[in-house]
Structure 1
Amino acid sequence: MAESATYIYGVVPQDIEVDTEARGVGDPPGAIQSIRHGKIAALVSDVSAGRPLGTPKDLYAHEQLLNATAAEVPVLPIRFGAVVASREAVVEEFLAPYHDEFVAALNELEGRAQFVIKGRFDEETILAEILTENPEADQLREEINALPEDASRDHRIRLGEIINQAIEDKRDADTAAMWDQVEPVSVMLAARPPSHEFDAVHLAALVENSRQDELERAVESLGQKWGDQVSLSLYGPMAPYDFIVSQDQDAE
């Protein structure tokens, strides 16, 4: 087994300049380099062939490198953990076979970046709203409070079902409202699955760099209407994870 292998982060235009201070995955972290082929280049670093990857530190380094790159130039992010045997293999197995597809995708992403809109319901506020709106839920809560814990099991299960469905309905409505709000300033939108039971919104938006301020104002405007009920965050610019179709890169 070779002492080192080559880790691939993403694909960029061939004429970019790599920050000599940039570091990636591994312990110690490897220096970022570019391997050019035709009109494209792969961002890579050397890693120990015997060291397993997958620590939170590795994942953070992978994402940070790609997001920092996306803030400057178009980048096609490669899924975490893509490793090939050598720098030659980067060209032969990765860049050369997909060169034209990568060029076309980079052209589509020129001047654009991804942002993620994340909203979370205030738990106390949303639960109070559900109990107010749903007489059955309010009655179940009163009965649960009056019964011993063992005797209220069925009531608690039913109340949980009502609350979960109500949150899902409100999430769908708020996601639709945010979609309509930011669609005019976005190139593309993608709904992400909720990452928390009280998520209200989880959207990815591909946006022209020149319209970032418009996106921020659109999100802020709807957030003001929602008030304290939903806590909103906007993340980006970041690599366009949600808007590329990856080739089958089973780099081992």
Structure 2
Amino acid sequence: MAAPEQAPDAQEERAVGCYVYGILPGDVEVSPDARGLRDGDVDLVRHGRIAALVSEIRTGSPIGRPEDLTTHQRLLDEAAVEVPVLPLRFGAVLTSREAVEDELLAANHDQFLAALNEMEGRVEYVLKGRYEERAVLREILAEVPEAARLREEIHGRLEELTRDARIRLGEVINQAISSKREADTQRAVQALSGHAVATVLREPTHHEDAVQTAFLVETEQRQQFEKAVEEFAREWQGRVSLRLLGPMAPYDFVITPRPGG
């Protein structure tokens, strides 16, 4: 009688790895109710004066759902309000706790410790702004003669008869928005950099983005920074819609080695 077909290797299915969220000072403690990816227990792997924030995860389980990224960021952002944090890239998995200690912590101990000292008492904020479409179009038509001429040329005429003019108008508007974005980003940085210790300009993610800038802020200056953003937002009311994200871990100000790399 033929032997029954074997199920997939159960041991392989149950294999677990160690998911790493970020690097913290070695003397911190994790809240007992902290939950990680897939509602897993969160723990610390320590080495010397640093520690890795980790949780177990099944190695055969794909990582990348929106809730996975949200959990990754939530844990780091909550920790960053209390202690310095070095975020690791989303999706960092090592084979075991021993690998985390040997390949990540021991191999980079001094570099991580220096970076943690630099981030002590600092958090990140990200300022995002998007132009109000009608407002920015009015500005462009008033400031760019070619845009106004092309708009008049196509007004009330069939699309197939004005295709070239419409394409050119789109190009002119995009160029004008790009110039405005550069100028407005500098305005935002000048208005807020006095309340921050560093800034990083982010690439736009939408063609109507007015500003995307990360600010590294002293924890003691958080209230003043947030108030300054509120005042700046009033200046742009009706022109640019602003959102302030944070406080969060310093994603834009820390570069950590890839685990195992």
Bin of the TM-score, shorter chain as denominator length: over 0.9
1:243 has 2:253 as partner: yes
CA deviation digits over 1:154-196, x for unaligned, max 9?
Answer: 1111000110011111111110011111111111110011122
Unaligned 5+ segments in structure 1 are none
CA offset digits 1:64-111 (Å, max 9, x no partner): 111111111110000000001111100011000000100000000111
Equivalent residue for 1:22, pick from 34, 41, 53: 34
Deviation digits for residues 201-249 of structure 1 (CA, Å, limit 9, x no counterpart)? 1110001000011211222222222221011121111010010122133
The TM-score normalised by the length of structure 2 is: 0.92
Match of 1:119 in 2: 129
Matched with 1:182 is 192
Find the aligned partners of 1:103 and 1:34 in 2 and give their Cα distance: 16
The answer for the alignment partner of 1:151 in structure 2 is 161
* Partner AA of 1:217 in structure 2: K
Moved more, 227-236 or 7-16: 227-236
RMSD across aligned C-alpha pairs, in angstroms?
Answer: 1.3
Question: What does residue 17 of structure 2 align with?
Answer: 5
How many Å separate the matches in 2 of 1:81 and 1:41?
Answer: 18
> Larger Cα Rg: Structure 1 or Structure 2?
2
Query: What letter is aligned with 2:75?
Result: L
- Tell me what 2:230 maps to: 220
- Between stretches 38-47 and 224-233, larger displacement belongs to 224-233
Equivalent of 1:208 in 211, 218, 225: 218
* Aligned mates of 1:245, 1:189 — CA distance in 2: 15
Would you identify which runs of 4 or more consecutive aligned residues in structure 1 move more than 6 Å? Answer: none
Query: TM-score, with normalisation over the residues of structure 1?
Result: 0.95
Matching residue's letter, 2:145: P
5+ residue gaps, structure 2, are 1-11
Structure 1 partner of 2:7: none
Corresponding residue for 1:82?
Answer: 92
Identity %: 50
CA contact (8 A) 1:82 1:250 kept: no
How many aligned positions are there? 249
Deviation at 1:143, TM superposition (A): 1.9
Deviation of 1:19 after TM superposition, in Å, equals 1.1
